[in-house]
Amino acid sequence: MSKLYNLGCSFAYGNCVPTRNKLCNEHRGPGTYIAEYLNIQEVNLARNGNSIDGVLRKLYTYDFEKDGVVLIGVPPSGRFQVVGHLEQRYNKERGYKSGLFGKTDESQTCIRYAYTKGPATKGDYFHTLKWAEVTSEHINETSSYHVLFNILKIQKRLKELGLKYYIYNSIGYKHDPKNEETKKIKEQIDWSCYYKPEYSMFDMVKSNIEYELAEGDQHPNHYAYEEWSKDFIDWLEN
Cα(186)–Cα(176) distance, integer angstroms: 10
Chain-centroid distance, C-alpha 201? 9
CA angle 226, 204, 34 (to 5 degrees): 30
Cα(201)–Cα(199) distance, integer angstroms: 7
Task: Classify the phi-psi angles of 236: left when phi > 0, otherwise alpha if psi is within -120 to 50, otherwise beta.
Answer: alpha
φ, ψ (nearest 5 deg) of residue 184: -65, -35
Q: Which pLDDT value is given to residue 136?
A: 59
Cβ neighbourhood burial of 118 (10 Å; 0-12, 13-18, 19+): buried
Least Cα distance to 232 among 168, 189, 170 occurs for 168
CB atoms within 10 A of CB 165: 21
* Digitized pLDDT (tens) for each residue of the chain, 238 residues in all: 689 999 999 999 999 999 999 999 999 999 999 999 999 999 999 999 999 999 999 999 999 999 999 999 999 988 888 898 888 888 899 887 887 788 798 999 999 999 999 998 888 899 888 876 545 567 788 888 999 999 999 999 999 999 999 999 998 777 788 889 999 999 999 999 999 999 999 999 999 999 999 999 999 999 999 999 999 999 999 8
φ, ψ (nearest 5 deg) of residue 39: 60, 45
Question: Which value, to the nearest 10 degrees, does the dihedral of the CA atoms of residues 6, 196, 210, 28 take?
Answer: -10
Cβ within 8 Å of residue 38, ≥6 positions away: 1, 4, 69
SS3 161: helix
Residue 142 contacts residue 181 (beta carbons within 8 Å)? no
Chain-centroid distance, C-alpha 189? 19
pTM of the predicted structure, to 2 decimals: 0.92
Q: Which pLDDT value is given to residue 180?
A: 93
Cα(225)–Cα(13) distance, integer angstroms: 11
